[in-house]
Amino acid sequence: MTAMKKISLLFMTACMLCAMQAYAQCETVITPSEAAAKAQAGDKGTYCIEGYVVSTVDIYCKTNAYENQSFMMADQPDGKPVFEAWRVVGVDHTIAAGSFVRIVDATFRMYGDVAETYAGFTVQLISEVPAVINMPEYGTELWPSEAAELSLSLPYHDKPTEEVFIVSGYANAVGTLDTKRGVQNVFVNDNADSSAYVFQGWECHVLKDSEGEYMPIQQGDYVYITGRLSRYNKNPQIKGGYVATFAVEPYLARVSGDPYKGTVAISGTYEFTSVNADTAMFTIAATPDPGYEFVTWIDATKLDLSDPDAEMEKAQPALTIYNEVKDMKEDELRAFAEKEGLEYRELMALLSMLDKMMQPTMVFDYEDLVFWRLINDLQEDTHVFPFRAVFRETQGVEKVQGNQVPGTKVLREGKLYIVRPDGKTYNATGVAL
């Protein structure tokens, strides 16, 4: 028997054992319609039910351990709903219409005319119909009805989108301004004459006037709510965003890097607007894996990742300028600025930004983004700033702890090490093991 056949046989055996273990909890498996009949007959036994989810109902009753969700079941994917799985715990709202599920250790009861589970059961998701959501571009302006439809299509309960949107409409109801926090609840609709609550801005930040006084939203105002879409039970919303009678422009910083060479992270206020730009600060950090080193940050716009040399080619102009001028004295810098047609202060600002770009950990504010836009020749209306960390194989890896030493490079479990003649081992960054 070949090694591949052995692996396949072991895999199939493991799958069979897992399936047997799962079904061991289900001595009796029945359909939803059979479960409904047993509930109506007052059967007090414990059963396992397998069937299709045909509709879901969110019941917002969240604790530290779980959230609740109910769903109606049928014998077939398009069948008539005949049985309710009542308050399923711990499913994180991943069960959607079309899913085929198994209810384990269920007892039944009748609630009016509805047959449902009573208590003490768990749910196993056998197959799930993935949610396909076509997300509009970052910063897209939506009508309240469009925002509501998009929010309710999110696969997870009360989980906001990754993107920022602007929802514009008429304020048909407003809450009292919280002057301590500067937030207000605003309910909006597509039409000025409608009283229905289509979309809500929950605890959204209200802007101040030139004298520092809050400008609360009034009923009937045409407003713009900026932030990340989410849902609270069946209520579509933006929570903690911004609300104003004029469009508030959103900005976003993102980070990326070759996952096979290192890791990247971002923290702080990296989703911000023109309103909080003066106080917005965020940190981006790059950590190379053993055998690699950090080179610089580049703008990832229009970067062809299918080209292995694309990152270094995009980084090279900044590296060339930086290496040329970083050790110049003031008179040399002034001469260089004159040659390039720059003001001396402009060159100093450029060098300051270039120096930041060469650091693996970099703190950014809005003013830095202005210079970043200039350096990378980005459009004025650029609202998404994709920072990409450039890694390369460690140069001169034998230079351990600042001293040139002979050694042998070895790979152990996918990581690079240096073994010196005396038997001591160092990792690729020169740290003794």
Q: Which of 173, 172, 169 is nearest to 190 (CA)?
A: 169
pTM over 0.75: no
Over residues 129-177, the pLDDT tens digits come to: 544 556 777 778 899 999 998 888 765 445 678 788 999 999 999 999 9
Percent of the chain with pLDDT over 90: 25
List CB contacts of 115: < 8 A, sequence separation 6 or more. 35, 36, 39, 40, 82, 83, 84, 108, 109
What is the spatial distance between Cα 242 and Cα 167, in angstroms, rounded to a whole number? 10
Largest CA-CA distance found in the chain, in angstroms, rounded: 96
Domain 23-127 fold is OB fold (Dihydrolipoamide Acetyltransferase, E2P) (2.40.50)
List CB contacts of 175: < 8 A, sequence separation 6 or more. 184, 185, 186
pLDDT of residue 405: 46
Spatial contact of 227 and 243, defined as CB atoms under 8 Å apart: no
Average confidence (pLDDT) over 62-81? 71
The one-character DSSP state at 219 is T
What are the φ and ψ backbone dihedral angles of 264, each rounded to 5 degrees? -130, 155
At 272, list the tokens: 């911000």
Which CATH number, 2.40.50.140, 3.40.50.10310, 3.90.580.10, 3.40.50.300, labels domain 142-244?
Answer: 2.40.50.140
Q: Which helix or strand (DSSP H or E) is residue 210 part of? A: none
Over residues 77-134, the pLDDT tens digits come to: 878 889 988 766 555 556 777 888 888 878 888 877 788 887 656 677 666 554 455 6
Q: b vs e for 106-140, b when ≥16 Cβ sit within 10 Å of the residue's Cβ?
A: bbbeeeeeebbbeeebebeeeeeeeeeeeeeebbb
- Residue matched to tokens 């996952």: 259
What is the spatial distance between Cα 117 and Cα 35, in angstroms, rounded to a whole number? 9
Spatial contact of 48 and 31, defined as CB atoms under 8 Å apart: no
Q: Do domains 23-127 and 142-244 have the same CATH topology?
A: yes
pLDDT of residue 349: 82
Spatial contact of 228 and 236, defined as CB atoms under 8 Å apart: no
The yes-or-no verdict on residue 414 having pLDDT over 70 is no
C-alpha distances in Å from residue 415, one per residue of 136, 294, 411: 41, 17, 5
When the pLDDT of each residue in the chain is averaged and rounded to a whole number, the result is 79
Spatial contact of 142 and 224, defined as CB atoms under 8 Å apart: no
Q: What angle do CA 346, 296, 311 make, to 5 degrees?
A: 110
Q: Which residue has the higher pLDDT, 197 or 183?
A: 183
Residue at 281: amino acid letter: M
pLDDT of residue 204: 95
Please report which confidence band the pLDDT of residue 367 belongs to, taking 50, 70 and 90 as the band edges.
confident
Spatial contact of 166 and 140, defined as CB atoms under 8 Å apart: yes
Helix axes 344-357, 366-375, angle to 10 degrees: 100
Q: Which of 194, 149, 190 is nearest to 168 (CA)?
A: 190
Long-range contact pairs involving 86-93 (C-beta distance under 8 Å, separation at least 24): 86/111, 86/116, 86/117, 86/118, 87/59, 87/61, 88/123, 89/65, 90/65, 90/66, 90/122, 91/67, 91/123, 91/125, 92/67, 92/156, 92/157, 93/58, 93/67, 93/69, 93/155, 93/156, 93/157
Of 6-15, 27-36, 202-211, which gets the smallest average pLDDT?
Answer: 6-15
Q: Which residue has the higher pLDDT, 49 or 135?
A: 49
At 356, list the tokens: 């930041």
Question: Where along the chain do its domains lie?
Answer: 23-127, 142-244, 250-393, 396-433
List alpha helices for 210-343, DSSP H.
310-325, 330-339
pLDDT of residue 1: 42
Residue 284: strand pairing partners: 266, 362
pLDDT of residue 79: 84
Per the rule left: phi > 0, alpha: psi between -120 and 50, beta: everything else, 319 is alpha
